[in-house]
Amino acid sequence: MADRRQFITGIATVSTVAIAGCAGIEEETNPEEETNPEVKVDSDIEYTTSGFGYTSTERDNVLTSMDIEIGTTDSLKLAGETDPIIEVNNTDTGQELYVIPEGEQISDVSSINFGGLYDNAGELRQGANRELTVETEDGSRQTIPHSIEGNEETIRGREPFSTYQIALVDSTTNPTSVASTREQIYGIGHEREFIQQEGTTGEINLSLEFMEPIDSSWYVEFTPFDPDDGFVVETKEINNNGTDRLEWSTNVAESEPGTYKGWAINIYPEQDARLDEKILSVRGATKEDDQIVIEES
């Protein structure tokens, strides 16, 4: 049986009979030209609204990578012999990574999460540490076996902000796309320093320094996420002047005294962008150096 990594597509040929005039000449196709049935997908794919930033702390900085996830418009099959391979394309670098689902066929996939493929630095995980997670139509999630081909530097790219496109394809050699997402910018392997603050009561000043500038055309907001009990702040726009430093103020008068990690910086291509267009979500880390301190006034 042909290796589906080399080719999946192709329409099986069958013997035909052709009558040339009255000569009765019979022509047959070569049986060796038969290939696997064509890959068929009845669903479109698009990025979901559930993507968020995984955060890890180093000695003196924080690494964040967006958790990329796609959803399907209809039930999708994976891991069968005529089911698609997943292509991750970094359109800025031209690099491509192929994720090949394996094991038993899953016939009702509703979303695919790629966050377990790479770490917070954007580096591809190896061996058992690498996970491909799917959600099925009944809401259950499972990690499925898979293999990897292509350029392992695809996800990390050359810059902390890169443009990606996910496609379902028929092979890893000269692939044909049967469904694809739009191109989207994501922050992968983004490095920053710990949050800084001035003041601990009432109106406080906060700042965050990144290792790379934030595009001045992007919309940036400060917001609570999954707030800790007692941490009460309003979502507000942050002035973005295109540098590597963000500065803003917020009122914590309604908050209880304490140390809080339940803050986030969200970056979108524009103010009216949808949740599924989010470029990066930077969240407070568990390390105390990256938390907001509020004292009793």
Separation between Cα atoms, residue 122 and residue 127, nearest integer Å? 16
Length of the chain (residues): 297
Give pLDDT tens digits along the chain (297 positions): 444 444 333 333 333 333 334 344 444 444 433 334 588 888 999 999 766 666 766 667 888 899 999 999 998 999 988 899 999 999 999 999 999 999 999 989 999 999 999 988 889 999 889 999 999 999 999 999 999 999 999 998 888 899 999 999 999 999 999 999 999 999 998 899 999 999 999 999 999 999 889 999 999 999 998 666 789 999 999 999 999 999 999 999 999 999 999 999 999 999 999 999 999 999 888 888 999 999 998
Which CATH code fits 193-294? Answer: 2.60.40
Q: What's this model's pTM, rounded to 2 decimal places?
A: 0.83
Stretch(es) of the chain classified as CATH 2.60.40: 193-294
**Does the CA dihedral 124-130-135-141 come out positive or negative?**
negative
